[in-house]
Amino acid sequence: MEKTLEKRLRLAVEKLGGKCLKFVSPGNAGVPDRMVLLRGRVWFVEVKTEHGVLSALQVAVHKILAATGHEVRIIKNEQDLRNLLHEIAPVPGPGL
């Protein structure tokens, strides 16, 4: 499921004209799986299985990223993915 969500995230972001890069930072364990780059903004995204749990190191790294003003999101299921996609590219309502 994790790989499926990660692939769906990547494809959806690319469809919106953005990039969804695999985030690997040698010497820095605990970083999120993906960096979403879209319309001048960056989101760090951790993809987990439905029952996946962040490690203590991941929690610490996410807190550091958030404390320095970066967006950090965790997706575990299709609803989380839809919520993130709505956040990064909201669909305008009627008359907008």
Token pair 């780059």 is found at 37
Q: What is the pLDDT of residue 90?
A: 75
pLDDT band at 1, cuts 50/70/90?
confident
pLDDT tens digits for range 10-28? 999 999 999 999 999 999 9
**Which two three-digit tokens encode residue 96?**
């907008």
Q: Taking 50 as the threshold, does the pLDDT of residue 7 lie above it?
A: yes
User: Structure pTM?
Assistant: 0.88
Domains of the chain: 2-88 (3.40.1350.10)
- Rounded to an integer, what distance in angstroms lies between the CA atom of residue 65 and that of residue 20? 17
pLDDT tens digits for range 15-70? 999 999 999 999 999 999 999 999 999 999 999 999 999 999 999 999 999 999 99
- Rounded to an integer, what distance in angstroms lies between the CA atom of residue 63 and that of residue 58? 8
